[in-house]
Structure 1
Amino acid sequence: MLAAMVCMLNQSRQHRRRRASNVDRRWESRGKNLLEDYFIPNSFYPVSKFLEGYRMQPHLFQKIMHDICNYDTYFIQKHDAVGVLGLIPEQKLTAALRMLACGASAEHVDEIARMGKYTILECLVRFCDAVEHLYTREYLHKPTPRDLQRLLQKGDAREYGNQKGQKSIILEAVASFDCWVWHAFFGVAGYQNDLNVLGQSPMVDEVLRGHSPQVTYQINNTVYSGVYYLADRIYPRWMTFVKTILNPQSEKERSFASFQEGYRKDVERCFGILKARWAIIRGFARMLDEEVMQSIMMTCIILHNMIVEDEYDYDAPEVFEPDPINTALTRIYERPMGPNELPLEPELLLLDGQFNNPMIDRYQEMQSSYVHERHQVDLIEHLWEMKGNHNG
């Protein structure tokens, strides 16, 4: 009788200590059902349903899963301490992608993947870390000469944007006509405006150090070097930016303002696609801390670029609008070249305790309001000659 009483007491204590998160979720059967739903030939759901839930084609998902499993063994199915097989990789990646794509909470994902809340959040953090380490260099790189040539041939590349959210964490990004994000700077918190963020942005540092994409071109019989970005009126009058005209008077100015503002909508369209594709940006990410939010944002941008690359047909012939720019004077190169035809190394700000004069010259040139205004006038004339004068 004493032994029976001790046994009943132990069972009572175990029953009281059992948590709701330790219920038997039967993840083995859910993993099997998930494979039958999406990941086997002649699966239950069509590819359109897969795109709706995962935001990408099945072959791209398989590539990402293969790379992540090789990078982090956490995502590989393993036996636990008692020899029971754990979650399959498809379940773990499904949990992370559903949180990113649908903005679902861990409780909602639990119903889909049969995983505990803390396991789901761990999958999300590890997934974002793996994507950043594996794909940042490839999918957030600077434009190569081939990329610059394609943007130049397009003739209407437009590339600057700055989006602010209600949580006062700002995302600065550079995007082009095909919604590819070339530059992203996220994580500036607090009461900031566009100018303060610009002062902290690594994009300005790249210009000063000579790391920015190098292009020379001629418009209105004037030769310019360096790329420029389309920006709104709040940005300073630097030669790096081309802004609209506040109160255009002539037909040329109205045509320029219309084209400039219309082209700048592309970066807003890119942000719209980004938020529509990854719903976690719109709401649920507010519950996470700043470091995790930054990792999530960069992961969403990298995945966005991967999807753009997968869906965009780069081999298809593109029909570009005629551009009267003197292509004989247009040159694209990755870094400044020296007299020996070798790339010049960037110079330091301080040399032997003294300031580096070339960097100071680049800084003064970048902030020259005269060059900014002259550049804008030449662009107005060039655009009118190319489009406005012919289209009325």
Structure 2
Amino acid sequence: MADELDQRFNEAFDEFFEDTYNNIVENRTNKQRKHAYIERNHEAGHNRLWNDYFSEDPTFPPHLFKRCFRLNKVVCMRIVDSLSENVPFFQQRKDAVGRLGLSPLQKCTSSICMPAYGCAADAVDEYLRLGESTSLSCLTNFTEGVIQLFGDEYLRRPTPEDLQRLLDIGEIRGFPGMIGSIDCMHWEWKNCPTAWKGQYTRGSGKTIVLEAVASQDLWI
């Protein structure tokens, strides 16, 4: 009698489990949505960017370029040219129907503006014609490419020769014993752990502060 009851219970449980599993799978399948294709017209985005900032007679003069990009055009173009020559991700290609994809300028501009302004990945879509996932991919590859290409030259500890050069420059400019100015940047940390709140609280928000000593030639 007990064995028969156990058998019926197992059969009922297996049937219930199978029905439940099938319902879950069916609901998940029904909830999957297809992403709508958006024709962003990448070439128009590149032409607009080029005419505004990079042409021989740009819409915005150099001082507004520096204000927008947070660096001057010479440095910006050095980064763009180096990435497009050495990192395949930043090389412009054609798609299956022969249309040009995003240009190195579009990808680099998106990667520069996102951390410079602390904006969301889709904030540059309307101007540069990049979707959110593409902008995030650009930022990842941009960061890795800059570290790879410029890390040995710039992302290192100063040598005694570097420090002496900065001290000499500081003395000439009327600041003996000075190697640079302290600069900082604040990033909001939306998901900061509660236990760490006191370490990263500034005003009503939680931010991470990056401080660095910047030499005068960084701003030229």
2:70 to 42, 55, 60: 55
Helix, strand or coil at the partner of 1:108: coil
C-alpha spacing 1:120/1:287, structure 2 compared with 1 (3 Å): farther
Helix, strand or coil at the partner of 1:82: coil
2:97 to 82, 88, 109: 82
Q: Does 1:309 align with 2:214?
A: no
Q: Find the aligned partners of 1:136 and 1:308 in 2 and give their Cα distance.
A: 20
1:55-105 deviations in whole A, cap 9, x for unaligned? Answer: 111111111111111221111110123322101111001111110111110
Q: Does 1:130 align with 2:43?
A: no
Q: Find the aligned partners of 1:90 and 1:100 in 2 and give their Cα distance.
A: 16
C-alpha spacing 1:151/1:114, structure 2 compared with 1 (3 Å): closer
Specify the alignment match of 1:270 in structure 2: 183
Specify the alignment match of 2:14 in structure 1: none
Write out aligned runs for 1:73-152 (5 A): 73-150=88-165
C-alpha spacing 1:40/1:137, structure 2 compared with 1 (3 Å): same
C-alpha spacing 1:68/1:286, structure 2 compared with 1 (3 Å): farther
Name the amino acid aligned to 1:156: G
C-alpha spacing 1:301/1:135, structure 2 compared with 1 (3 Å): farther
Specify the alignment match of 2:7 in structure 1: none
How far residue 286 of structure 1 moved from its aligned partner, in angstroms, is: 4.8
Q: Find the aligned partners of 2:180 and 2:95 in 1 and give their Cα distance.
A: 46
1:156 to 163, 177, 192: 177
Instruction: Calculate the TM-score normalised by the size of structure 2.
Output: 0.66
1:282 to 187, 193, 198: 187
Q: Which stretches in structure 2 are left out of the alignment for 5+ residues?
A: 1-31, 193-207
Aligned length: 167
Helix, strand or coil at the partner of 1:115: coil
| 8 Å CA contact retained: 2:147, 2:155 | no
| 8 Å CA contact retained: 2:183, 2:211 | no
C-alpha spacing 1:18/1:134, structure 2 compared with 1 (3 Å): same
Instruction: Calculate the TM-score normalised by the size of structure 1.
Output: 0.38
Specify the alignment match of 2:35 in structure 1: 19
Helix, strand or coil at the partner of 1:104: coil
Name the amino acid aligned to 1:67: S
| 8 Å CA contact retained: 2:80, 2:104 | yes
Q: Find the aligned partners of 1:287 and 1:26 in 2 and give their Cα distance.
A: 35
1:174-223 deviations in whole A, cap 9, x for unaligned? Answer: xxx423xxxxxxxxxxxxxxxxxxxxxxxxxxxxxxxxxxxxxxxxxxxx
Name the amino acid aligned to 2:187: R
Write out aligned runs for 1:1-392 (5 A): 18-20=34-36, 22-150=37-165, 154=171, 155-157=176-178, 177-179=179-181, 269-271=182-184, 275=185, 281-283=186-188, 286=190, 309-311=217-219
Q: Find the aligned partners of 2:89 and 2:123 in 1 and give their Cα distance.
A: 22
Name the amino acid aligned to 2:180: D
C-alpha spacing 1:46/1:135, structure 2 compared with 1 (3 Å): same
C-alpha spacing 1:148/1:310, structure 2 compared with 1 (3 Å): closer
Q: Find the aligned partners of 1:91 and 1:99 in 2 and give their Cα distance.
A: 12
Q: Find the aligned partners of 2:101 and 2:211 in 1 and give their Cα distance.
A: 30
Q: Which stretches in structure 1 are left out of the alignment for 5+ residues?
A: 1-15, 158-176, 180-268, 276-280, 289-296, 313-392
Name the amino acid aligned to 1:46: P
Query: Which structure has the highest helix share of the two?
Result: 2
Name the amino acid aligned to 1:19: H
C-alpha spacing 1:287/1:82, structure 2 compared with 1 (3 Å): farther
| 8 Å CA contact retained: 2:71, 2:219 | no
How far residue 17 of structure 1 moved from its aligned partner, in angstroms, is: 5.8
